[in-house]
């Protein structure tokens, strides 16, 4: 991971305690661990977005894809996905395949040696002997950070990427979301490298809708968005499922404007982007469920008349009724792009961890700009 270039003109918010903790974790020249969304400062985010753009453009030619698959063909990734997730799993495997990186997976604790009484730490220590990168998804809060510390203590240290841990953190989802937003806001900008000359988020209003209390994607993305000045956030949800106070405090500390609301229909006309999430009612009691007016947190085709011209609709998927299938074929729908962006962003992240981002930039400049 290249050190961020110092840019005196960008006013970066102060890193939080958690971000400082991860910085310490990564101050070892051994491996770059991706643990929390907050650990990425604005210039690191923008470098990753630019790199993702370059990879996708290189991949449009056969000669380009053949170049990409040589980049990490000499490394091996382990996807330790104890918490089921087809979507994130396949996104990471596709990202590995884009870079030619072989991988294998452990997806079921019952097939691993833990049934013979082995500690999970030992299982991961063993995996670190065969592979050069561990990408993990795990129900344990803070587990990826714990693993990063443990791997720093091994004679052979390899990097870890948090592919979602507990209810708290999903940093690569946050990166792909901000990538999707930045692409949507900057559609008019032709050259990928010019996008971040200006702050495309300046003056934009972005709403989060649905169950904001339990959705970790919204939490992680909020951390990243408050690194951009001039952005305005709206949190639209039933009062019982509103975004939690620690996020609001984080926004306050970073001088990010926000508003709480409880009806999408009264706000839709002001939005540049709407980030839909589902009301995860499989966790609700019947009492809670009956008290929610689902219509207030749904986006339907009959609302199109109220949309701003360039409204971008995002959704981390899977969706249910809250996002009308009739919107799929409209230009507002960015959620399929968002899925594909996840693959490119994850490829960019893995490339950066292994310092092949430089080779990608060189190739891009040699073949794709003039």
Contacts with a second copy by CB under 8 A lie at: 59, 62, 65-66, 69-70, 73-74, 76, 78, 84, 86-87, 90-91, 93-94, 97, 102, 104, 106-107, 111-114, 116-118, 122-123, 125-127, 129-131, 153-156, 278, 282, 317-320, 329, 336, 339-340, 343
The least CB distance from residue 315 to a second copy, in Å, is 10
The least CB distance from residue 190 to a second copy, in Å, is 20
Determine the 3-state secondary structure of 209 from DSSP: strand
The least CB distance from residue 94 to a second copy, in Å, is 4
Select from 166, 158, 219 the least CA-distant residue to 350: 158
The secondary structure of 36-71 as a DSSP string is -GGG--HHHHHHHHHHHHHHHHHTTSHHHHHHHTTT
Backbone conformation region of residue 117, classed left if phi is above 0, alpha if psi is from -120 to 50, else beta: left
Q: Which is nearer to a second copy, 4 or 367 (CB)?
A: 367
**CA distance linking residue 149 with residue 188, whole number of Å:** 43
Q: Which is nearer to a second copy, 265 or 319 (CB)?
A: 319
**CA distance linking residue 151 with residue 108, whole number of Å:** 21
Residues belonging to the active site: 87-88, 116, 137, 170
- What torsion, rounded to 10 degrees, do the Cα atoms 308, 53, 96, 276 define? -10
The H or E element that residue 355 is part of is none
The least CB distance from residue 181 to a second copy, in Å, is 17
**CA distance linking residue 250 with residue 133, whole number of Å:** 31
The least CB distance from residue 89 to a second copy, in Å, is 9
Q: Which is nearer to a second copy, 85 or 199 (CB)?
A: 85
**CA distance linking residue 38 with residue 226, whole number of Å:** 10
* 300: Cβ contacts below 8 Å, ≥ 6 apart: 324, 326, 327
Q: Which is nearer to a second copy, 125 or 296 (CB)?
A: 125
- What torsion, rounded to 10 degrees, do the Cα atoms 30, 35, 38, 40 define? 40
Strand partners, 276: 209
The least CB distance from residue 173 to a second copy, in Å, is 14
């Amino acid at each position: 991971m290249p050190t961020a270039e110092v840019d005196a003109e960008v006013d970066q918010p102060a890193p939080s305690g958690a971000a400082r903790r991860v910085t310490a974790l990564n101050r070892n020249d051994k491996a770059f661990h991706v643990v929390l969304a907050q650990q990425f400062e604005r210039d690191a985010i923008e470098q990753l977005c630019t790199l993702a753009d370059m990879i996708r453009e290189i991949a449009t030619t056969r000669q380009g894809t053949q170049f990409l698959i040589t980049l990490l063909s000499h490394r091996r990734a382990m996807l330790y996905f104890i918490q089921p997730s087809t979507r994130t799993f396949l996104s990471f495997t596709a990202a590995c395949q884009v870079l030619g990186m072989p991988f294998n997976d452990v997806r079921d604790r019952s097939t691993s040696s833990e049934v013979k009484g082995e500690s999970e730490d030992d299982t991961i220590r063993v995996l670190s002997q065969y592979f050069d990168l561990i990408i993990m998804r795990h129900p344990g809060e803070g587990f990826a950070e714990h693993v990063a510390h443990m791997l720093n203590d091994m004679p052979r240290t390899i990097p870890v990427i948090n592919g979602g841990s507990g209810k708290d953190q999903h940093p690569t989802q946050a990166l792909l979301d901000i990538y999707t937003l930045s692409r949507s806001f900057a559609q008019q900008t032709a050259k990928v490298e010019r996008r971040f000359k200006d702050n495309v988020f300046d003056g934009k209003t972005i709403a989060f809708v649905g169950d904001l209390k339990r959705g970790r994607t919204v939490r992680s993305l909020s951390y990243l968005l408050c690194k951009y000045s001039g952005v305005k956030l709206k949190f639209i949800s039933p009062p019982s499922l509103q975004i939690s106070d620690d996020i609001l405090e984080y926004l306050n500390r970073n001088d990010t404007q926000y508003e709480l609301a409880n009806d999408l229909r009264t706000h839709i006309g002001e939005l540049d982007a709407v980030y839909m999430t589902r009301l995860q009612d499989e966790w609700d009691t019947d009492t809670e469920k009956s008290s929610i007016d689902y219509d207030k947190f749904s986006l339907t085709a009959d609302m199109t008349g109220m949309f701003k011209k360039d409204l971008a609709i995002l959704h981390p998927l899977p969706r249910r009724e809250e996002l009308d299938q009739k919107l799929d074929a409209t230009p507002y729908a960015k959620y399929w792009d968002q899925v594909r962006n996840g693959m490119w962003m994850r490829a960019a992240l893995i490339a950066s961890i292994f310092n092949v981002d430089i080779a990608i930039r060189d190739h891009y400049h040699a073949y794709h700009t003039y």
